[in-house]
Structure 1
C-alpha cells in the first residue's frame, strides 16, 4: 500500500511567505517570480527557493512564456484543498488581516475559477432555497431550473455518470464567511458567464472583484438578490 506523503505537503505549507504566495495564486491567474515576491514581501531570490519547494510538492506549476516564467496553482483540486485549509486555519493573514488589507476582496472575490465571499455565499443560499441545488451525501446536486441558463450554466446530460472526484457542483467552505459557496464546473461556468456579461470585473486588489450595475440588476432579476444582500452576504 502506498502511503501519502503528507509530510511533503506540510513542509511546503509551513512557511508564511509560501502561504502568502499560494493565496495570491488562488486568484486563478499566473504570476511571475517578481510579482509573487512582492506579494509575499520577500526578495526575488528567496521567492525562487520557495516556489521550487511548492513545485516539488505538486502545488505549483511553472510555465515559460517568451522570456518570462509564470507560476500558477497546479490545478483546481489544489485550489479547493487550500480553500478548505484556509477555512480551519488560525486567524492570521488568511482571515482577519486579509480583510483589513483588502476589504473589497472579502466582499466579492474569486477563488481560483469560481466566485467566493459574501456574494457567492448569498447566491449559493438562494440556489438551495429555490431547490436549484440540493445537499446530498455531503455534496451538492444541481436540479433542472430555467434560471441556470440565465446564469450561463449548462447542466450535465447524464449526472449519474459524472466523475465523483470532480463533481459538477462541489460545496466549498468560504474561508472568510465560514459558510458554503458552490465550486466545481458549475461555479466555473457562473464566473465565466459573469465576466463575459461584464457582471463583475477585476479591481486592483488581485482576487477582488467589483460587482457592476448590470451584474447587480441581473442577479436581482434572476435570483431575487438585492444589492444590500450581496454586500452583507
Structure 2
C-alpha cells in the first residue's frame, strides 16, 4: 500500500486493498497502524476517506529502503509492478526510472550538478530555465537537489525541490502526461523533442514510452 501511494496522490482504503490484494477491513487495520506511525494521513472528502503519504520525506525513505531490499518475493513483485507502470514514472513528486537516471547523468556530465559529500550542488546554467527550473537565490536548510536511489535502476536520480520543479514543469507544459492508473507517465512527442533538443537525450535509448501529441 505504501508503494501504491508513492505517486503522491490519495486513495481510498478499497483502492489500496485492491492494490495489496487484501480485504478492505485488513487494509483499514494496516492503514490505522501506518497513521499511528506517522507514515500516512487520512482526509475525509464527503463520504469517502482518502489516504496519502505524510510527506516527501516518507516517500524518499521508502524508495531508499526499496533500493537496498533483498531480492525476496516481495521485492521481485515490486520490480514486476514497476515494469508494468512504464520506464518513465513518478516517485511522489519527481521523475523516476531510466529517463530520470539519464537526465541526472546528463546534468552531472554537463557540470550542471556536482556530486559532493553524498549530495548534489547545483550550478548556474541557461538550460535550467529551459527546463522550467528557478534556481534558489539563497541556500536553504534543505538541499535544493537531493540524490535519490532509483529502486529499479539502482542508480541515482534527482528528488527535492529541483526534482519537483522538473516534473511539475513537464506536466504543465505537456511534455509528459499521467497514465490513468499507477505511477506511469507517458512522454508526448513535444516532450521527446524537448529532451532531445535541450539535453541531447535519446529517449528511445532509455526506454521512455511516447504518445501522440
Place the TM-score, normalised by the shorter chain, in its bin: over 0.9
Higher-helix-fraction structure: 1
Q: 2:144 aligns with which of 165, 168, 179?
A: 168
Preserved contact between residue 43 and residue 51 of structure 2 (Cα < 8 Å): yes
Give the structure 2 partner of residue 37 of structure 1: 17
For residue 179 of structure 1, report the CA deviation from its aligned partner: 0.1
Alpha carbons of structure 1 residues 102 and 120: separation in structure 2 relative to 1, 3 Å: closer
Distance 2:72 2:7 in 1: 19
Partner of 2:3, secondary structure, is helix
CA deviation profile, 1:91-131 (whole Å, cap 9, x unmatched): 24665333434525351110000000101000000000001
Counterpart among 65, 75, 78 of residue 55 in structure 2: 75
Structure 1 CA distance, aligned partners of 2:181 and 2:46? 26
Q: Distance in 1 between matches of 2:113 and 2:84?
A: 27
Does residue 148 of structure 1 match 2:131?
no
Distance 2:125 2:74 in 1: 36
- Structure 2 equivalent of residue 186 of structure 1: 162
Question: How far apart, CA to CA, are the structure 1 residues paired with 2:113 and 2:185?
Answer: 24
Map 1:19-98 → 2, pairs under 5 A: 21-92=1-72, 95-98=75-78
Task: Indicate whether 1:127 and 2:103 are aligned.
Answer: no
Task: Name the SS of the counterpart of 1:140 in structure 2.
Answer: strand
Tell me by how many angstroms 1:24 deviates.
Answer: 0.2
How do 1:89-108 and structure 2 match up within 5 A?
89-92=69-72, 95-101=75-81, 103-108=83-88
- Whether the 8 Å CA contact 1:200–1:212 is kept in 2: the answer is yes
What is the number of equivalent residue pairs in this alignment?
A: 208
Residue-by-residue CA offset, 1:116-174 (whole Å, 9 max, x unaligned): 01010000000000011011111001110011011110000012xx11xx211000000
User: How far does the alpha carbon of each residue in 1:1-47 deviate from its partner, in whole angstroms, 9 at most, with x for none?
Assistant: xxxxxxxxxxxxxxxxxxxx000001110001110011001111111
1:158 aligns with 2:138: yes
Shift of residue 177, structure 1, vs aligned partner: 0.3
Q: Distance in 1 between matches of 2:72 and 2:51?
A: 24
Are the equivalent residues in 1 in contact too, given 2:82–2:152 (CA < 8 A)? no
2:172 maps to 1:196: yes
**Contact in 2 for aligned 1:51/1:60 (Cα 8 Å):** yes
Distance in 2 (CA, whole Å) between partners of 1:100 and 1:204 is 19
**TM-score for the superposition, normalised by structure 2:** 0.93
